[in-house]
Amino acid sequence: MAPLSWRHHTLLQALLTRGPLSDRDFRAVFAAISGKNPATHHQLFNDTLLKLNKELAYLQFELRACMNQYDGMVYYGVVNNIADEESKLGTKYSVPQVAYYKGLLEAVVQEAGNDGTITSIDALNVRLDNQVCFTTILGT
């Protein structure tokens, strides 16, 4: 297989440094790097994603497009394909701490006032057993 070009490296670096990008932003970065509009060059866009995924597979990573269940927007990001002990070393937080943090995020999202806050009492009373699955681009 031919090595990745500087364009592939730049696109991948943009995702890794900026984090998940919306479909519009990702396609804008692709257009800026390749000089081609992904709307009119579907095959080039798909071939680029396929080539990147073939190379990332060796590292057990994948470039994915995921739809946010709350706003319906598509985001692109690099995700880990496996949930092994080594991948858990990517955070200093324990599994219960990560679950609590996800529960807090879910409580803020579900909050009736829609002002992006919850009270400290509500934060202390977050129930993880009633937690709605919070889908993230990172697959955690």
pLDDT digits (tens, 9 = 90+) for 82-122: 777 766 666 677 778 877 877 887 877 777 666 777 888 88
Question: Domains along the chain?
Answer: 6-80 (3.90.1150.220), 87-130 (no CATH)
pLDDT for the residue numbered 134? 41
Q: Residue 131's pLDDT is what?
A: 47
User: How does pLDDT run across 29-59, given as a tens digit for each residue?
Assistant: 999 999 999 989 999 999 999 999 998 888 8
User: Is pTM, for the whole model, over 0.75?
Assistant: no
CB contact burial 64-102 (16+ within 10 A = b; e otherwise): bebeeeeeeeebbbbbbeeeeeeeeeeeeeeeeeeebeb
Q: How confident is the model at residue 128 (pLDDT cuts 50, 70, 90)?
A: low
